[in-house]
Amino acid sequence: MKLIVQSLASILILLLMIEMIIPVMANDDGLTYPLKPSPSIGPYDDQKFLNNSTAILTKLSGKIIPIEGPDLLNLKSEQIQLSRLNISPDFYPEATKINAYLFKISQAGETYGTSKRLTEHPDTLGSPVYDQYTKARSYYSDAMEIWTDIKDLFPNTKPPVLPDPKLPIHRSNENGIPSDSIFGNK
């Protein structure tokens, strides 16, 4: 009997874990938290979505994208909260782009932060750092493409920027051997 109870408990835990994982799996757009489908009837949270996204983008306007700490966590949290609102079918295409933009900006910051942290460990310089930096630039580039579609909704804001990586990417160490440090480390 004890074995049956343990087996059932294990199955229940497994099912709970699967239920927690499925909502955060990426969709076809690569978004971990896409907008939930638009309900056929209201009430809709379009104005709340627009007000909150405007507040987020105003905070980020022209500033360096957060790459770690509470600012990055807040950005990610706010994007997740927006993704859960009820959006009308009429506003859904714009809201989808805004949500994707915020996701890509937060991913650019997080991935850039990862590449920067990797530079703090001499054994990870080179390819792993460069790979993460390349991913961050890709997320940022994707976000800037989306920005061209949504910028008219936010006329008083500018897109945030990635920190300067202090290139050149390819340098030589003290022995004249090429290295791939993108943050100026040896």
More confident residue, 130 or 41: 41
> Per the structure block, which two tokens stand in for 177?
């051997």
Per-residue pLDDT of 79-126, as tens digits, reads: 999 999 999 999 999 999 999 999 999 999 999 988 887 777 666 555
Structural domain boundaries of the chain? 29-179
Contacts of 56 (CB under 8 A, 6+ apart): 75, 78, 79, 102
Question: Quick one: pLDDT at residue 12?
Answer: 40
Q: Is the pTM of this model over 0.75?
A: no
Per-residue pLDDT of 13-30, as tens digits, reads: 544 344 443 333 344 456
What's the CA gap between 153 and 96, in Å, rounded?
13
